[in-house]
Amino acid sequence: MRLSENRTIAFVVLAVCVLVSVFGLGGLGLSRERGKVLQVYDRGTDASLSTRHSMDAYLDSAAESAQLMVSEAELHMDASALIDNVAQLAQTVASEADTDKRYEAYSSLKTAVDKLYNAMYEAAKGDAFTNFKVAYDDFWGYDDMIRHDEYSKLAAGYNGLVSGFPGALVAGVTGQGQLNTFGG
């Protein structure tokens, strides 16, 4: 019996080849691409710059600015849930290892920082507000760097790969979901 004469065997061989190429090779390709994007998150894109120019470092710096705002607010405001909320979120952004949890905390931190700014503006005037304003401006400066970092573009590109066919199927089977872009 020849393989070319038995259509059932030929169909099974073809199906196995398709499955191996889509899930095996496709999964490895997605895994490599995801690894490259996460490396940019940790190390940045320019090898001549220090690792302080990476998404990870920008998030740390934004958290430091938020902590400075908390310190200033504590000097000029009564104990406040806003102060505690910003302090807690900044701590999570700075210390959390899980990127998804860090993203959630950072998204909430941006709103909390604006609310704290408004409350501080009402509570403190003049020179007392100057140091707080500098920390606030630094926070939004780092936010601008975060939104325009190369990682955000690469993560969006990766997300495009895993959102269509067969990428979504491969990503679902291999557990490689979308990445947070921190870009919006």
Q: What is the pLDDT of residue 161?
A: 76
- The predicted pLDDT at position 155 comes to 86
Retrieve residue 3's tokens: 């393989």
Average pLDDT over residues 7-30: 58
What tokens were used for 12?
């099974």
Alpha carbons within 13 angstroms on the beta-carbon side of residue 124 total 18
- pLDDT at res. 140: 94
What is the predicted pLDDT for the residue at 128? 67
Alpha-carbon span 45 to 123, nearest angstrom: 42
pLDDT (average), residues 78-90? 89
| pLDDT for the residue numbered 52 | 54
CA distance 73 to 20: 59
Q: How do residues 19-65 score in pLDDT, each as one tens digit?
A: 555 554 455 667 777 778 778 777 776 655 544 567 788 899 999 99
Looking at residue 18, what is its pLDDT? Answer: 53
Rounded to whole angstroms, what are the CA distances from 13 to 6, 58, 166?
A: 11, 50, 20
Identify the residue with better confidence: 166 or 83.
Answer: 83
Between residues 10 and 93, the one the model is more confident about: 93
Q: Can you tell me the distance from the alpha carbon of 88 to that of 85, in angstroms, rounded to the nearest whole number?
A: 5
- pTM of the shown model: 0.74
Are 178 and 162 in contact, with CB atoms under 8 Å apart? yes
